[in-house]
Amino acid sequence: MATYDLVVIGTGPGGYVCAVRAAQLGMKVAVVEKNATLGGTCLNVGCMPSKALLHASEMFEEAGHSFAKMGVSVSAPKLELPAMMNFKQQGIDGNVKGVEFLMKKNKIDVLKGTGKILGTGKVEVSADGKSQTIETKNIVIATGSDIARLKGIEIDEKRIVSSTGALSLDKVPGKLLIVGAGVIGLELGSVWKRLGAEVVVVEFLDRILPGMDGEIAKQFQRILEKQGFAFKLGAKVTGVDTSGKALKAMVEPAAGGTAETLEADVVLVCIGRVPYTDGLGLKEAGVALDARGRVQIDPHFATSLKGVYAIGDVVAGPMLAHKAEDEGVAVAEIIAGQAGHVNYDVIPGVVYTTPEVSSVGKTEEELKQAGVAYTVGKFPFTANGRSKVNQTTDGFVKILADAKTDRVLGVHIIGREAGEMIHEACVLMEFGGSAEDLARTCHAHPTRSEAVKEAALAVGKRAIHM
């Protein structure tokens, strides 16, 4: 019977990063993975493949609509969807091989099969009808999340799809109906809209991107509508009739009222994700869950069962790969007797559409609710030199600072490459920096990032270029 210092169940971004950090700290580590490949949802059917399709579809859109105005004459681009899907697969394969390499490099044992916790220090790994019991001093649950399902709507991953199926459609749908106006729905909607689909988004709430800054969400909705998205907000899909050639979705107001029928070739259900704990044996082992099915942990990631910890999508907090990675590092360091820590006030979020949307820290709505006095600095990309010459002027930068101390509390950006620009705000906030600090930091010219500096100047009502 093998004995380890740490066994990590799940090899998504949280799990494999935790395993690598623990190995760096001198532990004997094994990971348990039920799927054929390592990397979890993120690498196989989530973050990575979606970014490949977002990039490829953006290039297709650019070639068809933007090249001519720059003086680049090309014939109308022709979509070869199988080749685009192959481009996506190459990216997946490269990343998965990268994780396999990291396991070998750090001498981490990979145990293929389904992991089940039998109690403190014992994990059962089952595959192909056989099982073995592994002894370990510590266990980390990093099993991630699964798609949330809509009652009465059966996902077949062909006509009614989740994000997984939407990444592998074999043809561009004429009409795509998306249930849910969150990050994943808007990203995948962007892919298929650029490739030729007619896209309608039905959202239960009266706004898109719940949890994002309201002003940013409103401007983003206007931009998406200009791109051809149609939105039905404050509405819910109550059922989908699959009997005919076209799908018929029943849509009614969220508050109740007269239903209407919308036809679609594909319905994408994107209403969020739920913690994945199936088959882990948590109840029998005595690992407590909260009311939403998440593993309960203390401030040091420890569960109610001694020697068992949990991180990532399976615990509370934003379901983001980078949050899981930071927790993986922190818990490995805690197990090693160090002071691992995650600053939950500085976890950026990005929507990888065109333009991108990024944010870190508090929204205006959150500051108002908490009764915090704040100042706002905003700067539009229409006044940014680089954005002007590239003719990519959609969006703006918004900085929220404490009215008394000038400490930056939140930064929100909508614009090209917003996902890359957010990190200077993250670094500043990690050091408790002020808007004044950001405003006095020299930014290279001409860059889009100058808009961040100008927004910081605008907090003190002294933006130069506006």
Q: Is 322 annotated as a binding residue?
A: yes
Does residue 107 come out as left (phi exceeding 0), alpha (psi in the -120 to 50 range) or beta?
Answer: left
Q: Is 410 annotated as a binding residue?
A: no
Q: Is 1 annotated as a binding residue?
A: no
Q: Is 361 annotated as a binding residue?
A: no
Q: What's phi and psi for 115, nearest 5 deg? A: -90, 140
CB-based contacts of 369, cutoff 8 Å, min separation 6: none
Q: Is 185 annotated as a binding residue?
A: yes
Q: Is 419 annotated as a binding residue?
A: no
Radius of gyration of the chain (CA): 24
Closest CA to 217 of 42, 54, 357: 357
Closest CA to 374 of 344, 348, 398, 406: 406
Rounded to 5°, the CA angle 215-186-383 comes to 45
Q: Is 43 annotated as a binding residue?
A: no
Q: Which two tokens stand for residue 20?
A: 């690598």
CB 309 within 8 A of CB 293: no
Q: Is 98 annotated as a binding residue?
A: no
Residue 229 Cα to chain centre, angstroms: 21
CB 304 within 8 A of CB 298: no
Integer Cα distance of 273 and 148 in angstroms: 5
Q: Is 370 annotated as a binding residue?
A: no
Classified as helix, coil or strand, 332 is helix
Q: Is 244 annotated as a binding residue?
A: no
Residues forming beta bridges with residue 273, ordered by sequence position: 147
Q: Which two tokens stand for residue 104?
A: 């070998």
Integer Cα distance of 353 and 385 in angstroms: 22
| Selected catalytic residue, list 65, 300, 445, 465 | 445
Integer Cα distance of 300 and 303 in angstroms: 9
Q: Is 41 annotated as a binding residue?
A: no
Could you confirm whether 55 is annotated as catalytic?
no
Q: Is 182 annotated as a binding residue?
A: yes
Q: Extract the runs of DSSP E, i.e. beta strands, from 317-371.
A: 349-351, 356-361
Integer Cα distance of 433 and 361 in angstroms: 13
Q: Is 143 annotated as a binding residue?
A: yes
Integer Cα distance of 398 and 201 in angstroms: 27
Q: Is 320 annotated as a binding residue?
A: yes
**Does an H or E element contain 132, and which?**
strand 130-141
- Residue located via tokens 């997946």: 92
Q: Is 321 annotated as a binding residue?
A: yes
Exposure on the CB side of residue 212, measured as CA atoms within 13 A: 27
CB-based contacts of 312, cutoff 8 Å, min separation 6: 10, 12, 13, 14, 15, 142, 143, 144, 323, 324, 327, 328
Q: What separation in angstroms does the CA of 457 have from each of 109, 377, 454?
A: 52, 7, 5
Q: Is 115 annotated as a binding residue?
A: yes
Q: Is 217 annotated as a binding residue?
A: no
Q: Is 184 annotated as a binding residue?
A: yes
Active site amino acids: 445
Q: Which residues are annotated as a binding site for FAD?
A: 51, 115, 143-145, 313, 319-322
Q: Which residues are annotated as a binding site for NAD(+)?
A: 180-187, 203, 272
Q: Which residues are annotated as a binding site?
A: 51, 115, 143-145, 180-187, 203, 272, 313, 319-322
